[in-house]
Amino acid sequence: MSAYIRPPHGSLTVDLAAQPLSQKGSRIANPLIEDKQAGPDGFQVSIEPATWRDLRAVAALEKVCFGRDSWPWPEILAALTFPGTIRLKAELEGQLVGFVVGDRRGRKDLGWVASVGVHPEYRRRGLGRQLLAACEHGLGTHRVRLSLRQTNEAALELYLQAGYSRVDLWPKYYRDGEDALVMERIVTT
């Protein structure tokens, strides 16, 4: 799979957005030249900033990805509009297939990845990892944390492969009483 990244206006620069993904073997195109090439598995993905105009698509994908744990519309709208929030979408032929949302918390050296979602048909192709890396880089923090259901083995595998380690457990975090696992990655430049 190849990814095309267009940085948000006045936010990430082309070099800043491109650096971590190019290190992972992704193809980064010049944002002025919309040159998307198919990767080895034959599909083209573009990663771009998400906006409030993506509300319906993100809400629908959030529901597909997280079911009962999906965010309600007001929270999704907030994530797509709050200043300082990193919000990226992955599109394939104009269809939303992935997204990531992150922000800085309290101290300037801590970033938080609030949500990473990839449509089930496009999982295990590196897209979640690309979205995660782009969000981490956009946050620009020394440490990045996230939380997940303790039983979400696919997400746990993704985060472990991306260099995250377990740092905390939040008992009975989810509505059904399941614990949340908190993970952290120290970001090196």
Dig out the tokens for 21 from the structure: 């993904």
Q: Give the model's pLDDT for residue 189.
A: 64
Is beta strand 44-49 parallel, antiparallel or unpaired with respect to 86-92? antiparallel
CA dihedral 99, 107, 162, 49 (to 10 degrees): 20
Domain spans of the chain? 48-186
Location of structure tokens 């990430």: 12
pTM: 0.75
The Cα–Cα gap between 47 and 81 comes to: 18
Residue 102: strand pairing partners: 86, 113
Q: Give the model's pLDDT for residue 41.
A: 59
The answer to whether the CB of 142 falls within 8 A of the CB of 37 is: no
CATH architecture entry for 48-186: 3-Layer(aba) Sandwich (3.40)
Q: Give the model's pLDDT for residue 118.
A: 94
Q: Which residues contact 74 (CB under 8 A, 6 or more apart)?
A: none
List per-residue pLDDT tens for the chain, 189 residues long.
444 333 343 333 223 333 333 333 333 232 322 334 344 455 678 899 999 999 999 999 999 999 888 898 889 999 999 998 999 999 988 899 999 999 998 777 899 999 999 999 998 888 999 999 999 999 999 999 999 999 999 999 999 999 999 999 999 999 899 999 999 999 886
Q: Which amino acid is at 66?
A: F
Across 113-122, b (16+ Cβ under 10 Å) vs e yields bbbbbbbeeb
